Chain A
Amino acid sequence: MKRNLYALLSLLVLASMVLAACGGGAETEPPAVSTEPAAPAATEPAATEPAAPVQSGIAVVTFVQQPTTLSPLYQTQWFSSITTQLWLKGLWSFDSDNNPVLEIAAELPTTENGGMSADGQTLTIKLRDDVLWSDGEPVTANDFVFTYEMFVSDKNVVSSTYPYADYVTSMEAPDDTTLVIHFNAPFAAWLTTLFNTGVLPEHVLRPVFEAEGTLDNAAWNTAPTVGVGPFVFTEWETDSHLIFEANPNWIRPAKLQQVFIRIADDAAQEVAILAGDTDIGTFLDWSQADAINSNGKAKFVTQPSGYDEGWFLNFDPETAHPAMQDVNVRKAIVLATDREKIVNDLLGGLTAVPATFWDSTPPYGNPDISPYPYDPTEAGSLLDAAGWVDSNGDGTRDKDGVELVLRYISNQRQLRKDVQAVVQQMWAQVGIGVELVNYGDDFFNSYADGGPIATGNYDIAEWSDVTSFPDPEQSSYWLCSQVVGPDNPDGGNWQGYCNPELDKLFDQQATETNPEARKELYYQIGQIMFDDVVWVGMWKDPDLWAVSNRLQGVKFSGASPFWNAHEWSISE
């Protein structure tokens, strides 16, 4: 019995050693090239050597979550979507300032160049004629039409059909380099949503779709050996790593020879960053900034991605404190809050206070608006003028027998509790009382199930929210038609704010297909919401990255973080 057990054990170990060493299946031998030191050619601009670019170096990226799938059809998670920029480009991507960068498209369609029809319902996009799939086949407009068909086919259990099912009526390819898209109405978000997760190779996937009746189980989804980007997928061992090798066919050849994505949990990630074992880390916490910057092996980088921490105010006259209806009181509340100090003391001064909901969604944040300053004196006089004075001498202002005590709620996150405590002290100086309440995460977030937001059991609620980044759309929070009530249980406007002037602007921007004109509309929207104190920004809540000092040329972007991966290089 004993001997058998030993034999069994050693057999298991041997077998698994062999299996583990062969791993993945796709890889047949260890990448021998990788051990070579960085060749001098790598530091030269790749453009000078278009004929035979020499790639060298491996960049190690750490992901704290495993990508769920690689196919754009089935992506359900941020880590999946950001890998596509390495190996599967679309029409264009977005740079650090959220400006479009042409990839497969030859030019950005405008009314001037005839790309956008006068009625805003037809888009004609010219494609480059020199783009090849990594297997050498040309990329054509038919690939885009095929991608569209796959998104809307009910044979595929795709993660989202937006915007293709609701806004696109048809798509066609009159020739290999022309893509024509018809919308059912002028569609403002075309720039930010069309093929933003890449294009599918029709020559690879059409046969699979025809044979299996669906792409759900296509091998390509998790092993996309054919792609179109600076790198090409070579190996994915689940929960261990993904490997992308330089793709010689891409129009902008990569400087690196390989991008290696390691899956590790967040403690392991920090170890790897500090030990210099990883070049890029993400999903970090503010508190890690000091350790990473002072360690000297990497630096901490922030990149806006639409998220801002802020206050959502209750405007519902039934449930909110009566003072909340008065714009001067709302303004006084903001003036009485030293948000700069909060950012400096609690967030290490690493971020800033946003003035509007769109400050983290460039270019839609109005640059002419700056946040309300900290001015307790002005806050006091505003409150005095509004009739809120401390008539009974208890230290808290009151009016008509109602004390100015506001209900300021949030979840259990400690950072938020700290902010609440600081705000409480600041407000006490101007005579505003506050009731602090912290709910469990589930209850705080549950709109439908009698949570505090649904029942209006708050005056000020704090959380971090986002636009449809990189698109600025989030109008349902403030449209009159979206105010939640018995006859409109599915509305998105839980705060009860209604302003016909704002509604008009929101409606206008939804069909404004010219990005420049739409930006102007958002400047106006931002101004109105700022003047009327509808949403109060606490701090910009960007994506947090760490980049090792040996990895050069990295520029992130909120929409497509790895948009310039072809420019990354290693310097030892």
Chain B
Amino acid sequence: MGQNLAKLNTETSLDSVSLWGITRKRLFRRKSAVMGMIILGMLILVALTAQWLAPYDPTKSMLDVPDYTGKIEKRLPPCVHAFGCPQSEPQHLMGLDGNIRDEFSRLLYGARISLVIGFATVSFSILIGTVLGALAGYFGGWVDNTIMRVMDVVLAFPSLLLAIAIVTVLGPGLINALIAIGIVSIPAYARVVRGSVLSVREMDYVSATRSLGGNTYEILFRRILPNALTPLIVQGTLGIASAILETAALSFLGLGAQHPTPEWGSMLGQERNQVFTAPHLVFYPGLAIMLTVLAFNLLGDGLRDALDPRLAHVS
């Protein structure tokens, strides 16, 4: 029996190595996934180097910039030297915003915030969702019932509506918006994990571990959860995209990031009255959100195809 188990172990680990190998190969073969990774890579680079790339402080108006020589005017259209803006004027690639701040610098710093938003919310909900889903799936019975009924409550509402309600309770702010969006997406992960746990709970290698006296912790975290990883990764990558969109929606409604945080959604929301007089202030942050969401969607889509052999032959 012990030998069998050892054999089983090596087999599964071999399996997983080759699975990852195959996945990587499949992933790199897909043009869209590669494109997603390139955009994402650039975004991460921008986020990491924002303080060197940004010509100005994203939260300071030109009034506060010592020795600033340019024209101090709200919502100044972009001034790019390469496109014929006089050299005497300081360059503002994306113009100035309604508070006389450099829109380009704000956009660069915004990348940092958006990525943090995406990863933080999804980690938060994956963490809680995994624990809840695993407990529900593994123990079954009343534990399962209680957890899943609570999840049903969350699922009974459109997520944006519920997020709005939660963030109103917690008070407007970026962190609270993250928590709200995190909470409303927990059930999705809990379901994924619970499903995976249920599907392998009764499988031989799990029963074997159990009969050998492996403790619950070991069974759950070493034997069962790795199986849920694949769907979780896919769900998580796509979840980052929707988390970014939902945060932007909350910020647009004034419930997310607060002034002067350079968050794209709130930049868009603050200047939405100005779309007709200063379209650049709506267009650039909107485009930035779109690109980021696009990158995660492309990557998530690629990952799903690469990880799910059933779909592999399809497209």
Pick the residue among A267, A270, A288, A414 that contacts B99 (CB under 8 A): A414
The reply to whether the CB of B275 lies closer than 8 angstroms to some CB of chain A is yes
> Could you tell me the distance between the alpha carbons of A477 and B20 in the complex, rounded to whole angstroms?
71
Q: A181 on the interface (CB 8 Å rule)?
A: no
Q: Is the CB of A266 within 8 A of B100?
A: no
Chain B window 257-272, contacts with chain A (Cβ cutoff 8 Å), 1 for yes, 0 for no = 0111000000000001
Contact with A270, one of B64, B171, B259, B273 (Cβ below 8 angstroms): B273
Interface residues of A in 287-317 (CB under 8 A from B): 287-288, 290-291
Q: How far is the CB of A417 from chain B (nearest CB, A)?
A: 8
CB <8 Å contact, A288 and B72: no
Contact present for A287 and B63 (CB under 8 Å): no
CB neighbours of A288 from chain B (8 A): 273
- Which residues of A have CB within 8 Å of B74? 287
Q: Determine if A529 is an interface residue (Cβ-Cβ < 8 Å).
A: no
Closest to B64 in A: A421
Residue B274, interface by CB 8 Å: yes
When distances are taken between beta carbons in the complex, the residues of chain A under 8 Å from B277 are 290-291
Interface residues of B in 93-112 (CB under 8 A from A): 98-100
Partner of B273, one of A285, A412, A413, A418: A285
Interface bits B196-233 vs A (CB < 8 Å: 1, else 0):
00000000000000000000000000000000000000
Asked if A267 and B273 make an inter-chain contact with CB atoms under 8 angstroms apart, the answer reads: yes
A287 and B258 contact, Cβ closer than 8 Å, known pairs A418-B63, A418-B99, A422-B63? no
Give Cα distance in the complex from A413 to B259, angstroms.
8
Q: Residue A368 at the B interface, CB < 8 A?
A: no
Contact among B63, B171, B260, B274 for A421, CB-based, below 8 A = B63
B142 at the A interface (CB under 8 A): no
Q: How far is the CA of A417 from the CA of B63 in the complex (A)?
A: 10
Pairwise interchain contact B100-A418, C-beta atoms closer than 8 A: yes
Smallest CB-CB separation from A412: which chain B residue?
B259
Residue A274 at the chain B interface, CB threshold 8 Å: yes
Q: Are A412 and B258 in contact (CB under 8 A)?
A: yes
Give chain A nearest CB distance to B68 CB in angstroms: 12
Tell me if A271 is interfacial: C-beta within 8 Å of chain B.
yes
Q: Which residues on B sit within 8 Å (CB–CB) of A345?
A: 72
Complex: how many Å from CA A462 to CA B205? Answer: 70
Binary CB contact string for chain A from 403 to 418 against chain B (1 if under 8 A, 0 otherwise): 0000000001110011
Contact A266 B273 (CB under 8 A): yes
B273: chain A residues within 8 A (beta carbon)? 266-267, 270, 285, 288
* Residues from chain B with Cβ under 8 Å of A291 in the complex: 274, 276-277
Bound Cα distance A421, B74 (Å)? 16
CB distance from A288 to the nearest CB of B (A): 7
Which of B72, B98, B171, B276 has a CB less than 8 Å from the CB of A287? B98
Residues of the B chain whose Cβ atoms lie less than 8 Å from the Cβ of A270: 273-274, 276
Contacts of A414 in B (CB 8 A): 61, 98-99, 259-260
Residues from chain A with Cβ under 8 Å of B276 in the complex = 270-271, 274, 291
Closest beta carbon of chain B to A412's beta carbon, Å: 5
Using Cβ atoms and an 8 Å threshold, which residues of chain A touch B75? Answer: 287
Scan B271-315; emit 1 where CB is below 8 A from any A CB, else 0. 011111100000000000000000000000000000000000000
List chain A residues, Cβ under 8 A from B274: 270, 287, 291
In angstroms, Cα B98 to Cα A421, docked, is 16
**Across the two chains, which residue of chain A brings its CB closest to B99?**
A414
Q: Mark B52-69, 1 if CB is under 8 A from A, else 0.
A: 000000000101100000
B residues near A266, Cβ cutoff 8 Å? 273
Q: A412 and B63: CB pair below 8 A?
A: no
Give the residues in chain A near B72, CB-CB below 8 Å: 345
Q: B72, B74, B277 — which one has the most chain A CB atoms within 10 A of its CB?
A: B277
Residues facing A in B77-105 (CB within 8 A) are 98-100
Task: Give every chain B residue within 8 A of A271 (Cβ-Cβ).
Answer: 276
* Contact sample, A vs B, 6 pairs, CB 8 Å cutoff: A345-B72, A413-B259, A417-B61, A421-B63, A440-B258, A442-B171
Query: Which residues of A approach B to under 8 Å, CB–CB?
Result: 266-267, 270-271, 274, 285, 287-288, 290-291, 345, 412-414, 417-418, 421-422, 440, 442
Q: Shortest 10 CB-CB distances between A and B: which pairs? A: A291-B277, A414-B99, A267-B272, A421-B64, A270-B273, A267-B273, A421-B63, A412-B259, A418-B63, A274-B276
Q: Which residues of B contact A (CB under 8 A)?
A: 61, 63-64, 72, 74-75, 98-100, 171, 258-260, 272-277
Q: Using A270-B273, A418-B61 as known contacts, list a sample of 6 further A-B pairs with CB atoms less than 8 Å apart, ordered by residue number in A.
A: A287-B74, A287-B98, A290-B277, A412-B258, A414-B260, A421-B63
